[in-house]
Amino acid sequence: MTTAIITPPALEPLSLADAKLHLRIDHASEDDFLSQSITAARQYIEAVTGERLITQAWRQYVPDWPVNRCIRMEVQPVQTVVASTAFDREGVPHQIAPEDTQLVRGSRPQLLMFSASADPVLAANGLEIDVTVGQGDLPTDVDAPLRQAISMLVAHWYEFRGAVAASQQPVSLPAGLDALLQPYKRVGLI
């Protein structure tokens, strides 16, 4: 399954002001670097954990009708299923009625179930599932350990940038980062 972002988050879980306070920076000459670092840290944490932090819109592409009428949602946590579209043999889109889908909350990963009345023939050319995901709209909605992890990464990248040649940059992450992220990491079989 493939996923694509439709609408990125409107803001970051860590503000520039909070990052500067954490780093004890009182000038604006580093603002661009810090803003880019905050975004990169969020993206890193989202990639490692599978958790989307601030509300954003995603589309999940499913190549075939699921045999058990159940799809594993690749981006988490799903707030709402916006639309489910099936494509028939000719590629014509058909909206699946909202009452024919049910998001299974409390499972990790979250699952999207299709009712028996949803017609699998309509999905001969796959499905597109549009969802709104994220822990919430505001930085305060994001779990504190994940916000702390962003602060740690930004500080680490700030401290070690340009200290040595690019080929000799430390290939490390800040101490304690893994402990903060461990409860959120995806578990799977190899």
Domains of the chain plus CATH, in order, are 2-53+143-184 (1.10.3230.30), 56-133 (no CATH)
Flag whether pLDDT at 170 surpasses 90: no
Flag whether pLDDT at 8 surpasses 90: yes
Whether the Cβ atoms of residue 38 and residue 158 lie closer than 8 Å to each other: no
Flag whether pLDDT at 166 surpasses 70: no
Q: How far apart are CA 122 and CA 62, in angstroms?
A: 13
Q: How far apart are CA 169 and CA 116, in angstroms?
A: 55
Q: 80 Cβ partners below 8 Å, 6+ apart?
A: 103, 131, 132
Whether the Cβ atoms of residue 135 and residue 51 lie closer than 8 Å to each other: yes
Angle, CA 81 vertex, CA 38 and CA 128 arms, to 5°: 90
Decide which of 135 and 1 is more confident. Answer: 135
> What's the chain's average pLDDT?
90
Mean pLDDT of 67-83: 93
pLDDT for res 79: 96
Flag whether pLDDT at 190 surpasses 50: no
pTM for the structure as a whole:
0.85
53-67, 97-111, 153-167, range with the lowest pLDDT: 153-167
- State what percent of residues in the chain have pLDDT above 70: 93
Q: What is the per-residue burial (b if ≥16 Cβ within 10 Å, else e) of 155-185?
A: bbbbeeeeeeeeeeeeeebbeebeebbeebe
pLDDT for res 9: 97
Q: 90 Cβ partners below 8 Å, 6+ apart?
A: none
